[in-house]
Amino acid sequence: MGFNVVALSFLLTQGAFDQAQAWTQSSSSQRASVKSKYAAAGIELIVSAFGSTDTPTTNGIDPVAVADTMAAWVKQYDLDGIDVDYEDIGAINAGDGKAEAWLASFTTQLRTHLPQGSYLLTHAPVAPWFSPAYKPGAYRKVHKTVGDLIDWYNIQFYNRKEQIHYLQRPAHCTIQHMA
């Protein structure tokens, strides 16, 4: 079994970078040809938003405005959807609920422009953010609030030493072990 979705990296709050930028620099006929070949193979083409270098909540970016811009970009460049690779570690670790509220507003606004069944909308959180140790809930809260708008989660697992910071609990997290 192969794959059925390809994600271009990255659409940031400042615009398209990496493969997403290369996609914008291709002619419309080149993009149509690539899309046609992917579609014929049963593969959908989406863009990945944010990544580890973009911290929209921490930077005070308006979630509705950036969702409007990103949804328009998806449509302009004829993609099948968007993957929300939100890695604003500081915002989640703050434990004040701002990250969860930001993600809920962003996701809701994306869905306004990218209707379910017509466009894919996925999220790619790091695995620990589903832990009940995170207050006020991290991705458990996001899922409870807007999970019905998300097609699926691409859970990110990290096991490299240089990325261990994803697994370190912020001070407000507590873990209870059941006996």
For residue 175, being part of any structural domain is answered with: no
For residue 112, being part of any structural domain is answered with: yes
For residue 86, being part of any structural domain is answered with: yes
Count of domains for the chain: 1
For residue 174, being part of any structural domain is answered with: no
Confidence of residue 153 (pLDDT cuts 50, 70, 90): very high
For residue 179, being part of any structural domain is answered with: no
| 36: its two tokens | 């046609």
User: Which domain covers residue 27, as residue numbers?
Assistant: 5-166
Burial of 17 (0-12, 13-18, 19+ CB in 10 A): middle
For residue 178, being part of any structural domain is answered with: no
The CATH number for 112's domain is 3.20.20.80
Residues 26-52 have pLDDT tens digits of 999 999 999 999 999 999 999 999 999
For residue 50, being part of any structural domain is answered with: yes
Residues 84-141 have pLDDT tens digits of 999 999 999 999 999 999 999 999 999 999 999 999 999 999 998 999 988 889 999 9
